[in-house]
Amino acid sequence: MKLPGRILGIALTLAGLTGAWFLQGVSFQTVSAPEPEGISVSTTAKPLQLYCQGPLAELGGKDGTDLGSMALVGKADVRYRLGVGSLVSEPESRVTQGVAIVMASREQTTGTLTAAQSQLIQRPRMAGLAATNCGQPQAEGWLLNGMAGSGFESILHVANPNPVEVQIELVFHLATSSNSHLITLAPFESQQLSLASFVEAEPSFAIYFQSSGQKVSMALQNRSSAGLSATGVELKGPTAKASKSLAIPGFQILAAGLAKPALRIFNPGPDAANALVTYLGSGTNSDVVEIEVPAAGFAEVSPELQVGDYLVLIESDAELMAELYNPYVAKNFDFAWLTPAEAFTGELAMVVPSFAAKIAIANPGAEEITVLLTLDTGAQAISVPARSQLQVRVTGQSLLLESQGEYFVNLILTDPKGYAVITPRENQNLGSNIQVLVR
Amino acid sequence: MASLSVAAIVVSHAQADLLARSLAAISEQTHPIQQVVVVETAGDQTSIDLALSYGFSVIEPGPLRLGAAIQAGINSLSDTPGWIWVLHEDAVPEPDALKYLSQAAEISPSVAIIGPKLLELDNSIQIQQLGLTITPTGRPFLLVQREYDQGQHDRADDTMAVSTAGMLVSLGVWQQLGGLDDTTPVLAQDLEFCAKARVAGYRVIVEANARVHHAGLSMQGKRPRSWLSGSFSQGISRAHLHFATLYLPTFLVFAIYLTLPLMVLLSIPGNLLQKRPGRSVAQFSGWIWAWFSVPTRLAARKRFRSLGSLKPLKALIASRSQRSKRRRGKYEVEPEASPENLRPGIFRSNSAWFVLMPLIASIQLFPTGAITANGILPLGANLEKLLPFIASNSIPVLDSIALPTDPFNWWLLLAALISPAEPSLGFAALVFAAPSMAFFGAWQLGKLFISKPWVITLVALGYSLSPQLLTLKSNLAVVELLAASIIPWALFFLIRTLGAFNSARAWRWTGLLGLTLALLAAASPMAFALLGVTVLIAALLQPKRGLILLWSYLPAVAVLYPLGRFALEAQNWTVLTQSSAIAFGPTEPFGLVNLVVLGVLVLASLPAWFVSDAKVNFGFFGFAIAALSLSTIQPIASGAPLTLAAALALLILAGLAIERVRQRTISTLVGISLTAGVLYSGFFFGLVNQVNPEFKSSRVMPALVVAASDQDPNLRTLVLEVGEPLTASYVWGSGEKLEMSSSLLESYPANSDLQIALAQIAANLVAGNQDKLVPLLSETRVDFVLLATPNPEVEVGISSLDILQPAGATDYGVLWRVESENQSARPATKNDPLRPWQFGVIAAFALLALPTRASILGRRRKTGVTK
């Protein structure tokens, strides 16, 4: 081929390649497959069962000298709210031991049945307010707020509300190791287990429990003391499930200078994770802290915050669990562990124990939400701005919250002799509107 | 002084050019010819004028067949001669031909028919025919064929028959025997006539000194098809059947006629192995012809046998040694002398060692089990379990869905053939070897154009270790990777087909090309479209091999047929661009890596315009541009294989440019730079960032389920995955395998009443509601429930149901056995009636692709003879 022909060939080649390049600008239709849709199925759910752990347990007797003694002390007040349905078993309002509340109902929510227990105790070795949500028994869960070491005592309340025996595996996650323990509960049996022998006096530990059969009820009782003085007690059910995004409303610096609050984060995953903790102050400064949480380990930080109310948001690249220790001082000392709240949309019913109570409603979202708060005395609409919380005093025996947006709630109880925070959980057995994707 | 009176009958059929040479030769005969009669059966005026110009007699009897035409010529003779010399217009006798024939007739009074030595018209040193006979089954047999004439056969000898071209026959015998029988197939007419003469007690001989140059129009297929009533192969097939009817014993004739269909079918593999697929068509038509003309054949047999005993024929039948010699002779053809044959091969140049580099680059994929990453499922437990899902029209989802399985399943079949007992391992081996296959293919392709082994090796490494190909490997884009690995092979086979010097080789390369295109279509229909167009253009540009070449589409058509049929029914042609559920989605055709690599290749390949053939430049640059343009069209699937096809074409051109660099320093520098680039690519894209293939056992369900499915393949397991939403999978038998998937399922999801029932079962299971579960389970067959995602809450709920029997925690989740009476079998699925044909086509091309002596070397393998 002659030179002009070759040059023409090069020109054609370059033109062709350029044409191919420009073709990518032409938008050829990309076909996307339709998203598979689930089928909504409703069936009759099992009766809704809640379990209240009953009174606090005292180890070693009144003076602490009765070795091996473990006894429930006093009575716990149980308050519950009923919706539509038939109550299978109705508890006393003051109980001396754990009690189950069972209600058969087609629609199951907190509106159907919700309950909480409280106990203000004033004993030489144990004083304070212990209040907790009466939740559904669980097949597995985590208790993150274990306290051990000098001045602290943890007792595990375990109950089997079923007519069959269950075996429960307890796994204690310590800072550097873990160990497990198996317990068996007879039908309807409850036990209180001192954890001192399992946790090797570690200041922080987490407990994972798993039932081999029916669901069980668990709660962790913590007691603190300074010298011979009791400085607080609390009873808390399982913590919220691990998540990449957690919200703890109602955190209030109550005892500046006495003892520091502490945020405990646990990473159950196999890889280390970074957590970004934001303390969103209400009328005060906010703060952001980044914390590295080792794999299967704890990170515990004490926030340096000014006195005020805070919404604590925790975001991470891995699923984490958290609890926030908050000391309290009034006439007495006390403390509470604040648990990450569950996200609610729609309706949430709660009972309010007979103490001064405030409801902390948080909106960690990017848009303002309106929550309708209904008390025994009437209803009010509350606007919660984006990424903030509001605290509203509540009275009466129960309350009802309703919103189209997503909100998080903690109920704060205060008393001159104690302090407790109740974190509500949805009460529901699977049954209605189960979305099933069939392949 | 010659005393034999001879009249020449020349049968002509509109071949004036040849007739001119023939008549000129007749007019120069040294033996006097009493009269020459030209019988023009086509009424061609040029031929008539030509004959008249020689002063010969001409008759125009109309479109008569050969026997009638000769008879017409005899009838028109003015004087009755003792002998007639039959000639065709494509036969050119040498001046002494008739003289030698006449002398032979005079010497032996018992001789009634004498044939000349027939030589190729355009190659006068090659013998075309030197007497005819038959094989023991009655097939026409040339005693000497394709031999150079060195006088080795120059002696008068008895034979069973001679060709009518140049045949000298006693007129008396002709009339006694009734001449040529026109109800006989053309290619058996001379045989039958001569055999009749033999049976009647006359001799038939060949006079080798009489030389006639013969074009052999009939044998070369240059006559109108009506002349032979079909192709040459069909003519031979009919002649074979006819003579078998005449010659063989009665019981054998009937047996043959009854078993003809079976014989035709059984001979297909043999014909394909011999790379003569046309022969099967001829045999098929011969069977039909024979069945529809039984009375005529039997009448001919009666006439033949009424002439006398057949014993004289037996001694003249082709002997075993003659037949064996003839078979060997078929391979004695000119060896290929193409330039690439003179170049060192991949092994001779030690370049094969470089295959270690792509092997090392994919070492992390060394097969140790079933690949399970990226949604790739293990394959069926063995070939037997995998086979039903190849080219199937239903997939085992819910109560079976009428969707075609993926064309990619043909690759899975290949994997199963590699490792029948563990197809998953075979598939993993294919994936592991894919870059190496690409290396070998690119080397073979490069060898056809590039002469320096180091440059070819660089080109092959450049392709097999290119960032694009290694990215596919590292990302486990197995479908695209396998497609890219065979693109060089497809181009190589295409070019070899075009360059094949005989049809056997062309068929063999076409067989390989067909299978490669089928595999390409099964992995990347868009890449197949590119190659398909390339094949079409090549066929049009080279019509000599074009007709054979076009057959290479057939396996790909067979592979894509179910998908094509679905696309037609659904009027959705985009589905034709995706071949597998595990294929990758659209990619950016001009991403940074593509831009850099293609940019460098374009710069390196442009100088090829100045150093190599325009045809090569147009071909490869055109191919690259077409590939890049097509790679932008990706409605569903990735166009990555097309980008690689473009890169391959540019690499070949760059290789052509590089090998012409004469300055050693520059070529060394270029070589070092390219080697460094290839090594960098191999390390960075090959060894780093490899997605973990997650090799696992090919079992996808708990052992208990697998064992139970061996007993009852109809069993079903409901697999629950807890999440939002809850997912319930209805799994057949021993679990979902890769061959059961269909890319169409995403676009055409299942819609069955069974879904509602299964959703209700799943909901009642997680809710722990036994009351509603029992009737549902009696309607719907569920043998096992498997909770695949650990969820103690749900597990506790399910465990509380009496109807379920705990079967323990397994590696696949927690399992329960359902105590149910429902033992319903899976609904019967009706496969496409063309499915066996799909397999048949692939098998036929596999036979074509199998190497045989003729197709490998194209020449006889020299043994002791040539030492």
Using CA atoms, how far residue B793 sits from A190, A210, B626, in Å, is 20, 10, 58
The β-bridge partners of A157 are: A192, A219
Q: Which of B193, B226, B259 is the last residue of a domain?
A: B226
The verdict on B486 and B587 lying in the same domain is yes
How much is the pLDDT for B860? 39
| Cross-chain Cβ contact B769/A46 below 8 Å | yes
Residues on chain A touching B397 (C-beta within 8 angstroms): 439
Q: Which of B643, B726, B755, B764 to mutate to test the interface with A (most CBs of A within 10 A)?
A: B726
Q: Write down the pLDDT at residue B328.
A: 75
Do the domain assignments include residue B54? yes
Q: Contact B755/A9, CB-based, under 8 Å?
A: no
> Which amino acid, residue A82?
L
Please give the Cα distance from B10 to B93 (Å, whole number). Answer: 12
pLDDT in tens, B235-250: 889 999 999 999 999 9
- Alpha carbons A11 and B735: distance in angstroms, whole number: 57
Note the pLDDT of residue B748: 85
User: Facing residues of A291 across strands?
Assistant: A275
Backbone angles phi, psi at B509, to 5 degrees: -65, -35
Shortest CA distance to B494 belongs to which of B620, B385, B403? B620
Q: In this structure, is residue B612 part of a structural domain?
A: yes
Q: For the domain that residue B139 is a member of, what is the CATH number?
A: 3.90.550.60
At B113, is the secondary structure helix, strand, or coil? strand
Q: Is there a domain that residue B855 lies in?
A: no
List the helix and strand counts (H, then E) for chain B: 37, 18
H-type helices in B88-134, by residue range? 97-107
Please state, as a whole number, how many other Cβ atoms lie within 10 Å of the Cβ of residue B832: 15
Of B532, B407, B524, B410, whose CA–CA distance to B477 is shortest?
A: B524
- Facing B763 at nearest CB: one of A6, A17, A436: A436
Of B622, B625, B772, the CB nearest to A43: B772
**CA pair distance B266, B270, nearest whole angstrom:** 8
Q: How many Cα atoms occupy the beta-carbon half-sphere of B409 within 13 Å?
A: 29
Q: Of B781, B790, B787, which Cα lies nearest the Cα of B765?
A: B787
Q: Tell me, yes or no, whether B682 and B728 share the same domain.
A: no
Same domain, yes or no: B446 and B586: yes
B629, B716, B719, B743, best to mutate vs chain A, most A CBs in 10 Å: B629
Q: Is residue B835 a part of any domain in this protein? A: no
Whether residues A9 and B618 touch (CB distance < 8 A) is answered with yes
Closest CB to B625 among A17, A213, A215: A17
- In Å, what is the CA distance from B773 to each residue of A386, B762, B801, B804? 45, 9, 9, 10
Tell me the C-alpha distance between B19 and B637, whole Å: 63
The range of the structural domain enclosing residue B472 comes to 340-382+422-687
The alpha-carbon gap from A202 to the nearest alpha carbon of chain B, in Å, equals: 28
Query: From the CA of B708, how many Å to the nearest CA of chain A?
Result: 22
Q: Of the residues B178, B210, B226, which one is the last residue of a structural domain?
A: B226
Q: Which of A328, A311, A333, A341 is nearest to A251 (CA)?
A: A311
In a 10 Å sphere around its CB, with 0-12 CB exposed, 13-18 middle and 19+ buried, how is residue B309 labelled? exposed
The reply to whether B751 and B673 lie within a common domain is no
What pLDDT, on a 0 to 100 scale, did the predictor assign at position B156?
A: 61
Q: Say whether both B680 and B774 belong to one domain.
A: no
Q: B719 and B668, same structural domain?
A: no
Asked if B747's CB is within 8 angstroms of A13's CB, the reply is no
- Quickly count: other Cβ atoms within 10 Å of residue B566's Cβ: 19
Q: Does B569 contact chain A (CB < 8 Å)?
A: no
CB–CB contact B574 A43 (8 Å)? no
Position B831 scores a pLDDT of 75
C-alpha distances (whole Å) from B203 to each of B115, B162, B194 are 11, 11, 9
The three-state secondary structure class of A20 is helix
- Read off the DSSP letter of residue B685: I
**pLDDT score of B339:** 55
Residue B78: Cβ within 10 Å count: 10
- What angle separates helix B409-418 from helix B423-447, to the nearest 10 degrees? 100
CB A37 within 8 A of CB B646: no
Residue A281, beta-bridge partner list: A310
What pLDDT score was predicted for residue A1? Answer: 64
User: How many domains are contained in chain B?
Assistant: 3
pLDDT at position B493 is 95
Q: Tell which B residues from 60 to 99 touch A, by Cβ distance under 8 Å.
A: none
Asked if B166 and B210 touch (Cβ cutoff 8 Å), the reply is: yes
Query: Would you mind telling me the total number of residues written for chain A in this entry?
Result: 439
B396 assigned to some structural domain: no
What are the structure tokens assigned to A168, written together? 């429960």
Among residues B636, B623, B498, B616, which one has the least CA distance to residue B567? B636
Window 198-227 of A: residues touching B by CB (8 A cutoff) are 210-211, 213-215
pLDDT recorded at residue B377: 92
Domain boundary among B157, B191, B226: B226
pLDDT tens string for chain A (439 positions)?
A: 677 888 888 888 888 888 888 877 665 666 666 777 888 888 888 889 999 999 999 988 877 788 788 899 999 999 999 888 888 877 888 999 999 999 988 788 899 999 999 999 999 889 999 999 999 999 999 999 888 888 889 999 999 998 889 999 999 998 778 889 999 999 999 999 999 888 887 888 899 999 887 899 999 999 998 888 889 999 999 998 899 999 999 998 876 656 789 999 999 888 999 999 999 987 767 889 999 999 888 899 988 888 889 999 999 999 999 999 999 888 888 999 999 999 999 999 999 999 999 999 999 999 999 999 999 888 999 999 999 999 999 999 999 999 999 999 999 999 989 999 999 999 988 877 888 888 8
Q: Which residues of A touch B764 (CB under 8 A)?
A: 43
All residues of chain B having their beta carbon less than 8 Å from the beta carbon of residue A34 are 746-747, 749
Same domain (yes/no): B375, B457? yes
Q: CA–CA separation, A75 vs A71, rounded Å?
A: 12
Query: Is A19–B796 a contact, with Cβ atoms under 8 angstroms apart?
Result: no
| B865 located within any domain | no
Torsion-angle region of A53 (φ positive above 0: left; ψ -120 to 50: alpha; else: beta): alpha
Residue A324 — φ and ψ, nearest 5°? -120, 120
Judge if B715 and B596 occupy the same domain: no
Can you give the pLDDT at residue B866? 35
Q: What is the largest CA-CA distance in chain A?
A: 112
Contact yes or no for A349/A83 (Cβ under 8 A):
yes
Angle of helix B250-273 versus helix B835-849 axis, rounded to 10 = 70
Do B133 and B67 belong to one domain? yes
The pLDDT value given to residue A26? 65
ipTM: 0.78
Q: Considering Cα of A337, then A338, then A341, then A346, what sign does the dihedral take?
A: positive
Q: CB–CB of A317/A269 below 8 Å?
A: no
Is B768 within 8 Å of chain A by CB?
Answer: yes
What stretches in chain B show pLDDT beneath 50?
1, 858-867
φ, ψ dihedrals at A55, nearest 5°: -70, 165
Q: Which tokens belong to B715?
A: 């069993």
CB atoms within 10 A of CB B463: 29
Identify whether B846 is part of a domain: no
